[in-house]
Amino acid sequence: MVRSLIATTLLVLLVGLTTSSAQAEEQTLKFRLVAHTLSITAIPASKTEGHIIGVGKFRGVAVFEDGRLADKVFTVSFDYTKGVGPFHGYSTYVFEDGSTIGARFDGTSEASKNGRVIRGEYSALTGTGRYEGVKGSGSFVSKPVPWEEGAVLYDGEFKLTMP
């Protein structure tokens, strides 16, 4: 009877330790992204001056805090009046080892005293390689730059849950 009780107790402890080690891992990946416009197609959306709708394709390089790099390609649809308004799109980050993070994003282009600020939220994350099965969210915001029109600098982060 005592042996049976000890065996049952050990089994419960073993199952408990195994279950707790299989919990999801959470991590935050912060990055800086320099992106450049590949193409934009816009058409007048109404008789309101400066109201356009359109799509754009962009590409850039994200530099993560740990020194890793990722190529990023993203496509955006927008509804702007004089450069201000909502947008949404899809992006894929491809890391040097071939792993990917893909995400939907939604955001706004806003007027500010320093020009235009672009900010958004990532959702519906997917991944391959080291990010297979990833879930999470994230955010990004543009930073003022002295570069030519079409080049943008963003600060961003992903809050990931790994299986």
- List of domains in the chain: 24-162 (2.40.350.10)
* Mean residue pLDDT across the chain: 88
Is residue 5 very low, low, confident or very high in pLDDT (cuts 50, 70, 90)?
A: very low
Confidence at residue 18, expressed as pLDDT on a 0 to 100 scale: 43
What digits encode the pLDDT tens for the residues 67-113? 999 999 999 999 999 999 999 999 999 999 999 999 999 999 998 88
Q: Are 89 and 108 within 8 A, CB to CB?
A: no
Is residue 22 very low, low, confident or very high in pLDDT (cuts 50, 70, 90)?
A: low
Residues 97, 67, 100, 118: what is their CA dihedral angle, to the nearest 10 degrees?
A: -160
Confidence at residue 23, expressed as pLDDT on a 0 to 100 scale: 67
